[in-house]
């Protein structure tokens, strides 16, 4: 069983897709191969059942089965997304995940009015329902949730809840927020928070320079994120960004909200990891034009990589 995430965790947690066949059923063999592909790219860990994992289109039983399958397949640490309109269902899923060896649980305050006290109360209720031993990732993604959260409130939660060890940062624009969070830690009075960045990785070099610990996003070339983060941590920020910039045209293309999921699955199918690129309805579907456009961007990437 992998080590739990903690306040110094760094690296790349790749957000995993959930593969389906043409009928919409979960394709378990593809899920195995996908986990293997991710592991081969050198990622630090996986995050499953996030938005990109189409978790809200899975039944409770399917979510459990995905957890079981992935945790049986890999020794990497696995963070499990458990956001749910009902706190009871959220807690049930979280306990199941921890029992099976998850490294942490991810939650976003995506319901109810966007008041700071409501968000604070909700995350406290989540933590109470899950108990102090379940490491938590707070997902800050206002573009998707409609709930903006201040750096101040994130810190308050991080201080009040020792188990809230990690921030999935994907506010946008959000670079100054990373700086603000790190400035809060400067005098040592507060506990460090691990910060992994989402938002498709679009600003990853800048985020690392401002103090982020890595990435937690779903780019279909995880090795690019891994190398960018590794080079940065090795003290070579320019080499990190040179490498990153090679992938940027495709990364920017994938980062399109909602639609990008279909692009990522198409690439994962091309890479042999999954048998079918379909998303569950009402998810996006690619036209021949969309696929040709993507193929062209991939060809351009491959040419750049060969140089």
Q: Which of 5, 67, 103, 149 binds its own copies (CB under 8 A)?
A: 149
- Please name which of 80, 71, 169, 180 lies closest in space to residue 130, comparing C-alpha atoms: 80
Query: Which listed range, 66-74, 97-105, 189-197, 242-250, lies at the site for its own copies (CB under 8 A)?
Result: 242-250
Kindly state whether residue 258 participates in binding its own copies, applying the rule CB under 8 A: yes
Q: Which of 153, 181, 226, 277 binds its own copies (CB under 8 A)?
A: 153
Q: Which of 117, 133, 187, 302 binds its own copies (CB under 8 A)?
A: 117
| Closer residue to its own copies (CB): 86 or 235 | 86
The CA–CA distances, whole Å, from 63 to 25, 58, 139, 183, 279 equal 13, 6, 19, 38, 16
Q: Are 126 and 112 in contact (CB under 8 A)?
A: no
CB neighbourhood size of 285 (10 A): 12
Kindly state whether residue 89 participates in binding its own copies, applying the rule CB under 8 A: yes
Question: Sign of dihedral through CA atoms 104, 208, 141, 119?
Answer: positive
Quickly list DSSP for 31-64. HHHHHHHHHHTT-SEEEESSGGGTGGGS-HHHHH
Q: Which of 99, 256, 295, 305 binds its own copies (CB under 8 A)?
A: 256
Kindly state whether residue 100 participates in binding its own copies, applying the rule CB under 8 A: no
Q: Which residues are near its own copies by CB under 8 A?
A: 24, 54, 56-61, 85-89, 111-118, 122, 125, 129, 142, 148-153, 172-173, 175-176, 179, 202-203, 206, 209-210, 238, 241, 245, 248-249, 252-253, 256-260, 280-282, 287, 289-290, 293, 300
């Amino acid at each position: 069983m992998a080590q739990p995430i903690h306040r110094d965790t760094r690296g790349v947690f790749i957000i995993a897709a959930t593969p389906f066949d043409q009928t919409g059923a979960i394709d378990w063999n593809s899920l195995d191969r996908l986990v293997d592909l991710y592991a081969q790219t050198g990622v630090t860990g996986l995050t499953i059942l996030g938005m990109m994992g189409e978790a809200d289109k899975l039944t409770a039983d399917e979510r459990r089965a995905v957890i079981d399958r992935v945790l049986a397949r890999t020794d990497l640490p696995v963070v499990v997304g458990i956001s749910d309109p009902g706190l009871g269902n959220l807690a049930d899923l979280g306990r199941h995940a921890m029992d099976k060896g998850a490294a942490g649980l991810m939650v976003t305050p995506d319901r109810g009015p966007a008041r700071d006290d409501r968000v604070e109360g909700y995350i406290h209720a989540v933590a109470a329902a899950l108990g102090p031993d379940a490491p938590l990732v707070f997902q800050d993604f206002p573009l998707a949730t409609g709930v903006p959260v201040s750096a101040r409130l994130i810190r308050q939660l991080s201080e009040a809840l020792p188990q809230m060890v990690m921030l999935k940062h994907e506010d946008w624009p959000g670079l100054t927020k990373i700086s603000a969070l790190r400035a809060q830690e400067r005098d040592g009075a507060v506990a460090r928070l691990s910060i992994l960045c989402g938002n498709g990785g679009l600003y990853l070099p800048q985020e690392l320079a401002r103090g982020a610990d890595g990435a937690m996003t779903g780019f279909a070339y995880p090795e690019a994120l891994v190398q960018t983060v590794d080079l940065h941590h090795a003290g070579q920020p320019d080499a990190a960004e040179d490498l990153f910039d090679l992938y940027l045209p495709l990364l920017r293309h994938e980062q399109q909200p909602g639609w990008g999921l279909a692009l990522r699955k198409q690439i994962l199918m091309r890479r042999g990891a999954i048998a079918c690129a379909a998303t569950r309805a009402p998810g996006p579907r690619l036209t021949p034009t969309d696929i040709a456009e993507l193929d062209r961007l991939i060809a351009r990437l491959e040419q750049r990589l060969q140089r």
